[in-house]
Chain A
Amino acid sequence: MSDTPAIELRDVRYRYTRNGPEVLKGISLTVPAGTITGLVGESGSGKSTLGRLIVDERRPTDGHILIEGRHWDRNSRKNGMRRSVQMVFQDPFAALNPYLSPLAAVTEAVAVADRLGRAGARDRAIELLTQVGLSGAVVERAPSSLSGGQRQRVVIARALACRPRVLVADEATSALDVSVQAQILNLLMGLQRDLGLTILFISHDISVVNHLTDEVAVLKGGVIVESGATEQIMNAPQHAYTRTLLAAFGHTPIPPRVLPC
């Protein structure tokens, strides 16, 4: 395992439009290679935007993004770095081309990644699908007949075709049932261990992040309020917001006071 962090963010700022509000306000973060790092926040915290920035070559309004020590920008496609960061999306139903079977979709990904013809790519595609737990007749079915968990596996297999170094999972299990979520979380843990992947796991669900990640960063209003080893943060949160968030996932409801309106 190298010492170069898989992802490094240096004072990253982002606004969608030139005069619009800053959605990310100076994010600095280091994601160590080979770990599962969590990014936790509620809606509006900017976590999804950050995830997108990391996978896209879109330039942040300010600051730098480095992937494995190299600058990540529009030149990355030329350097062949483009594929080293892949994404697993929240909505498994929209993440697959409805006209392509899992095998077809993954074969295409392999064909493009390895510059092979359709036939040459097929073997590796089958291998990848097996690696995520899909084999047999199911790989030739239309996506519409697959369950959410199966689709998410296809998305992961397709992402793996590019031999990525980093996987960004943006609320990857939030739309899945508990039992299916468990399957996917297990899969991610296994892949990280077997392939040495770095996984950035973006989620609103602290309990999942607590279970899955080695390191975690807490995001609020475009700013990281706290970051560090997951166990430490969960047991001894320093920031008030982290404490509030943890309390929300505890078992006692906060007694109602007059709520803002």
Chain B
Amino acid sequence: MTLNTAPGAQPSLRVRDLEFSVGDSVRLGPITLEAAPGTTLGVVGETGSGKSLLCRALVGMLSLSGGTIDAGSIEFQGEEFAQADHRRWAQLRRRRVGYMPQASMAGLNPVRRVGSQLNDILVGARSAKLEKARVLMQQVQMRDPDRVLRSYPHELSGGMRQRVMLAFALASDPEILVADEPTTALDATVQNEVLGLIKQVQKERNMAMVIVSHDMRVIRQVSDQVAVMYGGRVVELGPTSTVLSAPSHPYTRALLRADPTLAERKTLLGAIAGAPRPPVDWRDGGCVYRERCPLATEVCAQSVPQLRNVRADDSAACHHAEKVVAA
């Protein structure tokens, strides 16, 4: 399944059949997705879907969670990185991939000023770095760049810290930005501002973007394409407008039915029985979602559904996707 990449333009990020694992029992994948320059891929999933691990795998930081990449490829602008060593990954992160980790307080050193941390990331002569730092602060809409640079992380509000993290990620003029839950723990109004800022920056730089979130609203707001993850696999992949209004996978449909934003007031929401499944070994042969799926039949227990084209650009990993679309 291909995305609407402009002809001739190479996707900034291409992941093919990526399989990775943490320890003996947590296995994820195979995962296939793409992000083209100037577009945003949203990865949405609940707890245990593996989306955070995927995020880390994409920037070569899986080993920090004790995981390894087992198979498949991760290509940035055509260059293969799945089996790259730490040095190549570090180089990649320095030059071409911007990463916004989850939880800004954890991403910032609490005992150092913002400016001095930014200094570490930038390269060049001291005066050039200072100027670049100011420019970055302005790009993230800080009215008083010098004051922010002089501050310690705890002196800034949550929204400001996120913008600082964004600035750090942009410091290397990356081709692609990977953001892990960039707006959680923020008030809704601040969330919106940060997301608006991210979109604007993306447009200005024609960056590709991958945003991982559990919040459907965030994904809907900023993504062109969306990948829905469950139990360590991508179960649906397609344009946001299609997937989040007329999904082709039972899980996506169930998620939408459970969303109070979309439901009629005071009605019972379409809750899915049971709890989201963690990405334990899926290779027992069946579909990861079958235990909670109303459409599950025998074939769902026997063979793993592969991600396949169901309509135009929309792909789903389900044996009964057609029924979902028809409903």
Q: State whether these chains interact.
A: yes
Instruction: Say yes or no: B266 contacts A189, CB within 8 Å.
Output: yes
| A105 at interface, CB cutoff 8 A | no
Instruction: Say yes or no: A210 contacts B260, CB within 8 Å.
Output: yes
Give min CB distance, B186 to chain A, whole Å: 9
Q: Which of B18-26, B76-84, B143-151, B168-176 contacts A (4 or more CB under 8 A)?
A: B143-151
Give min CB distance, A29 to chain B, whole Å: 21
| A258 at interface, CB cutoff 8 A | yes
- Given the known inter-chain contacts A149-B275, A231-B265, A261-B147, please indicate yes or no for A179 contacting B160, CB distance below 8 A: no
Interface residues of B, CB < 8 Å — how many?
48
Chain B residue with minimal CB distance to A36? B266
Give residues of chain A (176-221) contacting chain B, Cβ–Cβ below 8 Å: 177-183, 185-186, 189, 204-208, 210-212, 214
Instruction: Say yes or no: A259 contacts B275, CB within 8 Å.
Output: no
Instruction: Say yes or no: A179 contacts B142, CB within 8 Å.
Output: no
Instruction: Say yes or no: A253 contacts B192, CB within 8 Å.
Output: yes
Neighbouring A residues of B270 by C-beta, 8 Å: 182
Bound form: Cα–Cα A186–B220 in Å: 24
Give residues of chain A (220-261) contacting chain B, Cβ–Cβ below 8 Å: 230-231, 244-245, 247-249, 251-261
Give min CB distance, B163 to chain A, whole Å: 8
| B92 at interface, CB cutoff 8 A | no
Most central of A177, A255, A258 by chain B CB within 10 Å: A177
Q: List 28 A-B contacts (CB under 8 A).
A: A147-B275, A148-B47, A179-B46, A179-B258, A181-B260, A183-B271, A183-B272, A204-B188, A205-B188, A207-B259, A207-B261, A211-B266, A212-B260, A230-B265, A244-B189, A248-B192, A249-B217, A253-B192, A253-B199, A254-B196, A256-B141, A256-B193, A257-B141, A259-B142, A259-B193, A260-B143, A261-B143, A261-B144
A-to-B contact residues, CB < 8 Å = 42-43, 147-150, 177-183, 185-186, 189, 204-208, 210-212, 214, 230-231, 244-245, 247-249, 251-261
